[in-house]
Amino acid sequence: MSFLLNKEPFKKLIDNAYSLMPGLSKCVAIYYSPNNKSLLALKNIHPSENLKYDELEINELLTKNIEKYRNEKSSFLWLRKNEIPFETNHDGIIDMDMFSELNANVLMVCIPNKFDNKKDLIFCYFSDNFGSFKMSDSSKPLTSDNKSIIGTIFSNTLKSILNIFYNEEDEISQFKNQTKEIISGISQQNTSLKQVLAEKDNDIIGYCNKILNSEFNNVVQFKLSSSLIEKLKNYKGNFDSIQPSIIKAAEFVVSLENNPTRKTLIIEDYHVNFSNITTIHKTEEVSESIYSARYAKTIKLLDKLEFAAHKVINEEKLLTSINVGQAFEQPISAPAISDALKKHKSKIITLLSNYPENWRLIRKEFRPLINLLSPSKNVVNEDKKIA
């Protein structure tokens, strides 16, 4: 925990110690830092409007003298001035000018350090009488019982305060980790989304290139503009139905160039018109709303006829069985279309009756289908309603 690696928790402890015991004159904290792998010391002299903390140097000899207290089993000890390692001159190692107004009654609170399993030490300097503890007889010195009570209460309070700090730091650390995980998750989702969108772009480009290469025999090179790719991504209809519009747009772009084979031609979004194929996509809704197992083949037949019919119209040809058959992805003959219509007659009538908004072009202009429907206008069909 980053909170444990610095002096902040001990500064807070000293601040709280002064609040709890107004009679304190000085506090010194000695603690083990896992970051430095050594003991650090923090001193503060009170009173002061702005509490100033000094960091004290602890050399090797002083560390040895402090270690006996860091192994102390008790929660607190009351010490005299000459028992405190850094308050006595050990061969001139510590300058006595660092400290002023030394007091006889010093409470050393021992707080377990979870990193080296020893104790961190808080030295709290009290005046040698009751001072802040009672209203009268303040000149009397603190008795052993007084010191035991004060030591027990004060050490438990400081430990509780430090535990609160640690728990808060744990919560903050958990919150930071959760936030990082959320940010990381969002970043991964964004990356995945970008990959999906990039794949969709590639699929669209690949599909259109296949159409154009097939139509122009790879003689003319085309490129789809970014705005056209976006337009195609937003298209809600049956994607196969865009083929005539893409070819028509390419033919228009070619017609504008004197020598279209000498450079790559760009097809823009405004070159492609979807207005003549807006009805085709509704077939998908039909497929989802009826028993696909029963009507799938019939729907597929009507889709192919509708798509081929649009292609014939876009090529400004007559809407005959021959032309429609040749417009299929795998061309078929006019008699084959007639046979297929007769074979699916009953289901075609049912579908066209129940879904009047679909297959608009062939139901109005494709004569073989119109002829198929005409004799049955007054016939009640058993499949009239789809269960």
The answer regarding whether domain 2-175 maps to CATH 3.30.420.610 reads no
- What confidence category does residue 275 fall into, taking pLDDT thresholds of 50, 70 and 90? low
Measured from the Cβ of residue 238, the count of other Cβ atoms closer than 10 Å reads 17
pLDDT at 251 over 70: yes
Comparing 10-14, 175-179, 286-290, 317-321, the range with the smallest average pLDDT is 286-290
Residue 382, pLDDT score: 38
Task: Tell me how far apart the alpha carbons of residues 222 and 339 are, in angstroms, rounded to a whole number.
Answer: 40
Residue 331, pLDDT score: 92
- What confidence category does residue 377 fall into, taking pLDDT thresholds of 50, 70 and 90? very low
Mean pLDDT, residues 29-37: 84
Task: Tell me how far apart the alpha carbons of residues 150 and 129 are, in angstroms, rounded to a whole number.
Answer: 13
Contact 306, 319 (CB under 8 A): no
Residue for token pair 């009047």: 356
pLDDT at 332 over 90: yes
The set of residues, in sequence order, having a beta carbon less than 8 Å from that of 327 and lying 6+ positions away, is 307, 308, 309, 311, 312, 315
Residue 93, pLDDT score: 42
Comparing 24-28, 159-163, 198-202, 237-241, the range with the smallest average pLDDT is 237-241
Contact 161, 27 (CB under 8 A): no
Mean pLDDT, residues 347-371: 88
Task: Tell me how far apart the alpha carbons of residues 87 and 94 are, in angstroms, rounded to a whole number.
Answer: 8
* % residues pLDDT > 70 (the chain): 78
pLDDT at 347 over 80: yes
Residue 187, pLDDT score: 76
Domain with CATH 3.30.450.40 in the chain: 2-175
pLDDT at 264 over 70: yes
